[in-house]
Amino acid sequence: MSKLKIAELFYSVQGEGRYMGVPSVFLRTFGCNFKCAGFGMPRGELSKEVEEIAHIHQKMEYKKYEDLPLVSTGCDSYASWDPRFKDLSPMLTSDAIADRIMEIIPFNEWRDEHLVITGGEPLLGWQRAYPDLLDHPKMKDLKEITFETNGTQKLTQDFKNYLGVWKGLPRNKREITFSVSAKLPCSGEKWEEAILPEVVCEYEEVGTVYLKFVIATEQDFADAECAIAAYRKAGFTGHVYLMPVGGVESVYALNNKNVALLAMKNGLRYSDRLQVPLFKNEWGT
Ligand code: SF4
């Protein structure tokens, strides 16, 4: 039986993108190929906020994932990939994950809930393990999955074939979505490693794909326009969302309206981050 290293598994309302407002199970896998330490920092600088948290954690101060402090700069889900926190993310079998999902969803069965497989970066090596989970008897009534990805990981041929079969049976009426949060230079990641249009276009062979850009400044939007042009040139046909930066309320509230206006002005979609005003982006939301 396959195992997944799981940073978080919780039930909440999807706060971003196409399924905003939909009751959702979030399966947050451990591991990422990026660090995104530039978020919320002046351009060219990297956040050191997590260093102090890691230092405290070395002294075993934090017993569980939810004990960790939230950060206002850098990656807001740092503990889902930073190896210094890996002890807080257990390896769970498909059985254990499916059982836990049944415990946390209302009525203990899939109804209108959708599954969000997020990270970290969920399309790293875990592609091998998902079929075992999705074929579990307790997952048979699941109809919609979103992979929240940074859009840099190619799908393996085996996983592509699997997803085609999973969604393809007409009686199932299943949907697969790739929510691609492509990382602009404000993340601190390199353009040539983060903006990979050919990879994202391939996702369109399997499901609905949209791009989501985190915006804080005019420069970010100028970068987003360049990235959009590159994806379109490669043949990308999906929708594009602009989303305000801000894992904490004070930062989010500074620019959410501006980003909405910018999206309107440019004929793009606006994505909120409902988890910030609703739940203050606490762990498990
Ligand atoms: S890609 Fe996402 S999870 Fe990975 S470091 Fe960047 S923001 Fe964090």
Structure confidence at residue 170 (pLDDT): 62
Structure confidence at residue 185 (pLDDT): 95
- DSSP string covering 90-120, please? -EEEHHHHHHHHHHHSGGGS-SS-EEEEESS
* Mean pLDDT (10-residue bins), the chain, 285 residues: 94 95 97 94 92 90 89 92 96 98 97 96 97 96 97 98 86 89 95 98 97 92 97 98 81 85 97 85 72
The closest of 280, 258, 285, 279 to 270, measured between CA atoms, is: 258
pTM of the model: 0.95
Structure confidence at residue 154 (pLDDT): 98
Atom 6 of ligand 1, nearest CA residue? 36
Which of ligand 1's atoms lies nearest the C-alpha of 120? 3
Cα radius of gyration rounded to whole Å, the chain: 18
The alpha carbon of 39 and the centre of ligand 1 are apart by a number of angstroms equal to 10
Mutate to test the pocket of ligand 1, among 8, 28, 32 (most ligand atoms within 8 A of CB): 32
Atom 3 of ligand 1, nearest CA residue? 120
Mutate to test the pocket of ligand 1, among 183, 186, 211, 243 (most ligand atoms within 8 A of CB): 183
